[in-house]
Structure 1
Amino acid sequence: MDMFWELVFFLQANCMTCILAQPNPPKIHEGWWAYKEVVQGSFVPVPSFWGLVNSAWNLCSVGKRQSPVNIETSHMIFDPYLKSMKLNTGGQKVRGTMYNTGRHVSVRLDKEHLVNISGGPMMYSHRLEEIRLHFGSEDSLGSEHLLNGQAFSGEIAEASNAFLNRLLNRETITRVTYKNDAYLLTGLNIDDIYPETSSFITYDGSMTIPPCFETATWILMNKPVYVTRMQMHSLRLLSQNQPSQIFLSMSDNIRPIQPLINRCIRTNINFSMQGKDCPNNRVHKLQYRGRVLCQSMH
């Protein structure tokens, strides 16, 4: 059974000496666009039209550093100077609000609790702004990024990620069934969602929603997080519409692959050395998997 869905961290620059100079992150739930064609009686632009219907979105069509991309592991460049990623929660649990935006399941953290992520290709600390889920209607779909042209193969997991258990249990996920539904979550342990690995892949790219600004540094962690079959079923029952409208599953909220165009994909995984961080040298029992991708907004 093939399965590869995607979890995205949105980060905002958090440099105390220049935080006022940082632009506000775009409100990703707003705008006139869609991931897939739907029958609604009016035209709503899908990814192939994003850059054509609004001049402010022209990068979606003409940009040279667009995301997502297909990661060819044979073309990656080992960079020994890439630092390990660090997640700093201050040892505290946080609270946040989970939303059904009509396009994603989105968790936005309370501004009173700062969660900072640093290291990797980032020159300074960034604040975690949002956690956003991508997933497919079938087990062969779900991720925006691909690895060697394919998703991950998998079967049911015995135990899923502890953080996702909070989001995807029946009591919680049913609170955001329809567009604009929101539910407050308390006592969130962000440490639970970050995979226990120091290895990752990184490249310069763009947002994968309009206006497709090329201001993102993508970081793909080299370890999956896990979800159960029941949790995937619950996600697929979320509607991208309001209760008064026809049910349309939020699944397949995926932008198609974009050309790499001479960009460099770096990694701190040294494939020339045998070791635990090299995925080609490890044999796993296949599970339902979700890649964690940190998107640094410059």
Structure 2
Amino acid sequence: MMMIGNQKISMISISSIMLRFIIILIILHGTAIKCDWNFWWTYDGISGPEFWGILNPDWFLCSKGHRQSPIDIKPGLLLYDPNLKSIFINKNKVNGYLENDGHSVVFHSHYQQQNQSDTFNQQQNHQNSNLMLPVTINGGPLSYSYLFHSLHIHFGLVDSYGSEHLISGFQFPGEIQLIGYNSDLYDSYADASTKPNGLVGIAIFLKQETKSSPEIEILTSQLNQIVYRGQKTIIKSLSLRDLLPDDQNYITYDGSLTTPSCDEIVTWIVINKPLSITKEQLQALRFLMQGDIDVPKAPLGNNFRPTQSINDRVIRTNIEFKQQQQSTTKGKNCPTMKQNVQYEINQKLWNAI
């Protein structure tokens, strides 16, 4: 807090004034330069999440929305829905490229890019055409079929945080998000990304172990090729289906993109069981930088948005917490979902359920 005369001016007010000044300068020079808004937002400072809503008027939902993501999931507030089905991702493996886009590590499939003007992709399409089949996402809480679009990796610079979604205040060191668009209603991701029921987001937590999941090994094996913003590397034969655990327990809610423009068109599915990632793989992620090779800027890590208010949303799950009564058959217990739950964050709360 600063004092000017008899008035107190908060640092956040000063930051807001500075940010508005920067925006005015961009607008004044709009005729001379074409502004790429993706270049301007970050995860900290005066271009961080707290200011996304005023950085660009089109991103007003980042500040004013009521169904924003991510959220802190409270097990005691979950609504068990026995009608929630299993999630289905087909077996098709995908080729594509992994990119450091300055905000995150992103995997783009060649299937999604084959009709676009991405030169990097076009050079690869002819030799990968036999594997360029769509990956579809169905079932779960979804009423439509969704086509896989991209995969994003969020992670922290230390082990105690990194994931976007939380479980009772607990944050994992990382989170993978599979994003798909509604191919039943819309022709493209660009069309679906601002429309009702447009996107699905499947969030899978990353947990540090001595051995990683095979698909995590594929995704992290070439991180040294994308240390700086804009660098890309080819990834082949990635199985998105194998990123999901065998058990089909999950939490679901209606939310938003966790990056600008924060459109509230995402059906989120948070998988109950985390994927394994090694210490060495996490360190490789933490070596990545936000900037290009000439101006590296800060490390890419800590690329997670703070949790948002749940407001009046219903958070559903197919996990049945309550232990069933003992079977009338001697020596047998009725099966219970409780023994399959992977997260035991707040033990007192857990035992009370």
TM-score, with length taken from structure 1: 0.77
**C-alpha separation between the residues in 2 aligned to 1:46 and 1:54?**
12
Closer/same/farther in 2, CA of residues 195 and 155 from structure 1, 3 Å limit: closer
Match of 1:100 in 2: 100
**C-alpha separation between the residues in 2 aligned to 1:131 and 1:47?**
21
Closer/same/farther in 2, CA of residues 276 and 30 from structure 1, 3 Å limit: farther
How far does residue 277 in structure 1 lie from its aligned partner after superposition? 4.0
Closer/same/farther in 2, CA of residues 188 and 156 from structure 1, 3 Å limit: closer
Match of 2:49 in 1: 47
Match of 1:177 in 2: 227
1:138-191 deviation line (CA, Å, top 9, x unaligned): 11110111111112599851320101101212xx11111110000111222223
CA contact (8 A) 1:276 1:282 kept: no
CA contact (8 A) 1:29 1:102 kept: no
1:200-259 deviation line (CA, Å, top 9, x unaligned): 100001101111100011101111101000000000000111010144110000111111
Closer/same/farther in 2, CA of residues 269 and 235 from structure 1, 3 Å limit: same
Matched, 1:278 2:338: yes
How far does residue 262 in structure 1 lie from its aligned partner after superposition? 1.2
> Which runs of 5 or more residues in structure 1 are unaligned?
1-27, 38-43, 285-298
Closer/same/farther in 2, CA of residues 156 and 99 from structure 1, 3 Å limit: closer
Match of 1:17 in 2: none
Matched, 1:254 2:304: yes
- Superposed CA RMSD in Å reads 2.3
Residues 52-63 of structure 1: pairs in structure 2 closer than 5 A: 52-63=54-65
Matched, 1:197 2:197: no
CA contact (8 A) 1:106 1:130 kept: yes
Q: What is the DSSP-based 3-state SS (H/G/I as helix, E as strand, rest coil) of the residue aligned with 2:76?
A: helix
**C-alpha separation between the residues in 2 aligned to 1:212 and 1:158?**
36
Q: If each structure's helix is expressed as a fraction of its own residues, which one has the higher value?
A: 2
Residues 151-166 of structure 1: pairs in structure 2 closer than 5 A: 151-152=171-172, 156-166=208-218
1:78-118 deviation line (CA, Å, top 9, x unaligned): 001111101113xx432011000011100011213201111
**C-alpha separation between the residues in 1 aligned to 2:234 and 2:243?**
18
CA contact (8 A) 2:103 2:290 kept: yes
Closer/same/farther in 2, CA of residues 123 and 56 from structure 1, 3 Å limit: same
AA aligned to 2:64 is V
Q: What is the DSSP-based 3-state SS (H/G/I as helix, E as strand, rest coil) of the residue aligned with 1:114?
A: coil
CA contact (8 A) 2:256 2:264 kept: yes
AA aligned to 1:216 is V
CA contact (8 A) 1:197 1:221 kept: no
**C-alpha separation between the residues in 1 aligned to 2:300 and 2:271?**
25
The one of 114, 119, 127 equivalent to 2:139 is 119
CA contact (8 A) 2:272 2:343 kept: no
Q: Which has the higher contact order (CA 8 A, sep 6+)?
A: 1
Residues 29-44 of structure 1: pairs in structure 2 closer than 5 A: 30-37=38-45
Q: What is the DSSP-based 3-state SS (H/G/I as helix, E as strand, rest coil) of the residue aligned with 2:147?
A: strand
Instruction: Name which one, 1 or 2, has greater alpha-carbon Rg.
Output: 2
AA aligned to 1:190 is L
**C-alpha separation between the residues in 1 aligned to 2:241 and 2:71?**
27
Question: Identity, % of aligned pairs?
Answer: 36
Match of 2:291 in 1: 241
**C-alpha separation between the residues in 2 aligned to 1:47 and 1:279?**
38
**C-alpha separation between the residues in 1 aligned to 2:303 and 2:37?**
12
Report the more deviating stretch, 53-62 or 152-161.
152-161
Match of 2:78 in 1: 76
How far does residue 192 in structure 1 lie from its aligned partner after superposition? 2.3
Closer/same/farther in 2, CA of residues 253 and 279 from structure 1, 3 Å limit: farther
How far does residue 194 in structure 1 lie from its aligned partner after superposition? 1.8
Closer/same/farther in 2, CA of residues 109 and 281 from structure 1, 3 Å limit: closer
Residues 142-153 of structure 1: pairs in structure 2 closer than 5 A: 142-152=162-172
Match of 1:291 in 2: none
Closer/same/farther in 2, CA of residues 283 and 237 from structure 1, 3 Å limit: closer
Q: What is the DSSP-based 3-state SS (H/G/I as helix, E as strand, rest coil) of the residue aligned with 1:107?
A: strand
